[in-house]
Amino acid sequence: MAMKMTHISKTLLSIVCTLWGMSACSDDYNKYDDCPACNYYPVAVGNSTGTPVHAIGVEMDPHFFSQNITRNDGSKAEDWENIVVQRVKKMKVQQFRIMMQPQWWEPSNDNNDPNVADMSKFTFDSEEMQSVYKVLDMAQENNIGVTLVVWGAITNIDLLSGINNGQKHFLCDARSYNVNPGWIAGIDNYEEFAENFSTMVKYLIEEKHYTCINQITPFNEPDSHIAGYGRIMWQGDFETMGWQDTYAPMVKALDAKFKADGIRSKVHFNLSDNTDGTPGYIAACVSAFTNDEADLYNSHVYKFDYNTPNSTLVNWERQNIASAGGKRHFVGEFGFPGYGSARQYGIDTYTRGVQLIRVALNYLNAGACGVSYWSLIDQYYNRNASYSEMQQLGLWKYLKSAYTEDPDVYSKIKEDYEVRPQYYAYSLLTRFVRQGDEVYPLDLGDELIAGSAFLNTEGKWTYVLSNATDKDKMIQLENDKEGANGEYNVYKYMEGRLPEGDNLIESTETVNTQENNLKLKLSRSSIRVLVQK
């Protein structure tokens, strides 16, 4: 009798699915079993990209202690330990991209000989550097790699010590004295810049013993163009704009200095760091480097909105890889279009989390060796900055009281350091897509649904699927690769079902593959992660 009733129930469900479509195959139904009337889309695991994952990272600029606590607005040192450190630990972040500014450790030129550093003139004990050490300590303790990025020469020094405040930094180029480029200038004294950068890295590695530092990047977005001033650092523009290259000569001097200081083998040169507005910058670098100066390249991208199709994202990254001269390419910053440099549309929405993962998967599917989201936290980059200047692109917010100037935002905040939905979504990537994973792109038959299969170094599989459409999709994963059969933990990012507070998404169930196949329902506007036990 029981067997007959089960057969009748399945038959009735089949009729309902037929009459009402896939929505009838709801979460109340055992969606990993066959739904006879559902049309499953076959998704085969094919070939890998051939580029293992280097890291899933975030921007973590070192201003919490030096520029936020010093505002005396209510943030405290214990907030760092209790909030930031604990969340990073739970997220298992793999790489930090960290802003550095030359005046923090060399506010005045140590001497006129770039080959001999007068260490008594360097200020490695400055409050700004103490704030850097807090981030590096967190990275060191949690096995997080670090990319140090010197952003350029500051045009208006503003140190907590007061040294040289209001002055241009000595590394500012000659152009900046004729045309004000804004807060950051390029450099034209390559040897002095190389001494500044190399001395800092050497000190951090050999004196402070930070083994987490594995990459350096000279100049953030050097291709940025300022009216009347030009690019921060020129490269490849001579024929069109009449300016000689400055970026490649700077890198060559930097490479030579790191070798002379005995630290070149300890870090990778992650170069270009260009915006999405100068697609030829990497190629211009490749053609200018003759001594293997680059270990990898990276680019930033914010121009693609939430409706950009997968193929556009993939093609953009493939063009970067094609121009990189055989070197790996990393997406050094990514996000979405915004207004100003500190705000983006839809930052607090649930759907942004779905899109964040969809975009990241497309870059990895194209062959990127990793991605880094801008940025981990909302924070001020200057203790005297106005509310409009506060960076509000973080996975979580700052103190609630900091948002009082925006009543619509303020009224919706329940607590200090409140997480945004994208915190839960991006954590699924940082936790389950790890360094060394092989990437297998998945074709889900829709320009707004992305998926990847990842094979880790222990032979275990992970599937990450992001459905950014308003329709459910029934799919059948087909993986005939060795070891793919087995039991998987299932993690779901679904609206109305997110955890409380900063708790991370937990597995809600387990599923077993059968004969290399797994049938599942990928709900509309959701993320599914399946992790093999």
- At 450, list the tokens: 């992305």
Where would I find the H helices in 434-510?
none
Element (H, E) at 527: strand 526-532
CA geometry: angle at 286 spanning 199 and 219, to 5°? 35
- At 339, list the tokens: 């207004």
- Say whether the peptide bond before residue 401 is cis (omega within 30 degrees of 0): no
Q: Is 313 helix (H, G, I), strand (E, B) or coil?
A: helix
pLDDT value of residue 243: 87
What average pLDDT does this structure show over 219-240?
Answer: 92
pLDDT value of residue 242: 81
- At 304, list the tokens: 């693609």
pLDDT grade for 34, boundaries at 50, 70 and 90: low
Residue 4 has pLDDT above 70, yes or no: no
Please state the φ and ψ torsions of residue 139, each to the nearest 5 degrees. Answer: -65, -45
Q: Is 135 helix (H, G, I), strand (E, B) or coil?
A: helix
CA-based nearest residue to 187, from 209, 219, 159, 144: 219
Q: Give Cβ neighbours of residue 209 (< 8 Å, ≥ 6 apart).
A: none
Q: Give per-residue pLDDT as tens, 309-342.
A: 999 999 999 999 999 999 999 999 999 999 988 9
**Taking a C-beta distance cutoff of 8 angstroms, is the pair 213, 264 a contact?**
no
The answer to whether the 41-49+437-532 and 54-432 domains have the same CATH topology is no
Question: What is the spatial distance between Cα 385 and Cα 63, in angstroms, rounded to a whole number?
Answer: 12
Q: Give per-residue pLDDT as tens, 474-523.
A: 999 999 999 999 999 999 999 999 999 999 999 999 999 989 999 999 99
Residue 292 has pLDDT above 70, yes or no: yes
pLDDT grade for 8, boundaries at 50, 70 and 90: very low
Residue 29 has pLDDT above 70, yes or no: no
Q: Is 475 helix (H, G, I), strand (E, B) or coil?
A: strand
- Secondary structure of 12-76 as H, E, C letters: HHHHHHHHHCHHHCCCCCCCCCCCCCCCCEEEECCCCCCCCCCEEEEECCCCHHHHHHHHCCCCC
Element (H, E) at 512: strand 509-512
**Taking a C-beta distance cutoff of 8 angstroms, is the pair 84, 68 a contact?**
no
Mean per-residue pLDDT of the chain: 93
Residue 383 has pLDDT above 50, yes or no: yes
In 138-295 the beta strands, taken as DSSP E runs, fall at 145-150, 153-154, 184-185, 213-218, 225-226, 230-231, 268-274
Provide the residue type at 114 as one letter: P
Domain extent listing, the chain: 41-49+437-532, 54-432
The CATH label, of 3.20.20.80, 3.30.420.40, 3.40.1160.10, 3.40.50.1820, for the domain at 54-432 is: 3.20.20.80
Fold of 41-49+437-532: Immunoglobulin-like (2.60.40)
What average pLDDT does this structure show over 14-30?
Answer: 41
**Taking a C-beta distance cutoff of 8 angstroms, is the pair 396, 378 a contact?**
yes
pLDDT value of residue 25: 46
Question: What is the spatial distance between Cα 447 and Cα 431, in angstroms, rounded to a whole number?
Answer: 26
pLDDT value of residue 82: 98
Parallel, antiparallel, or unpaired: how do β-strands 461-467 and 526-532 relate? Answer: antiparallel
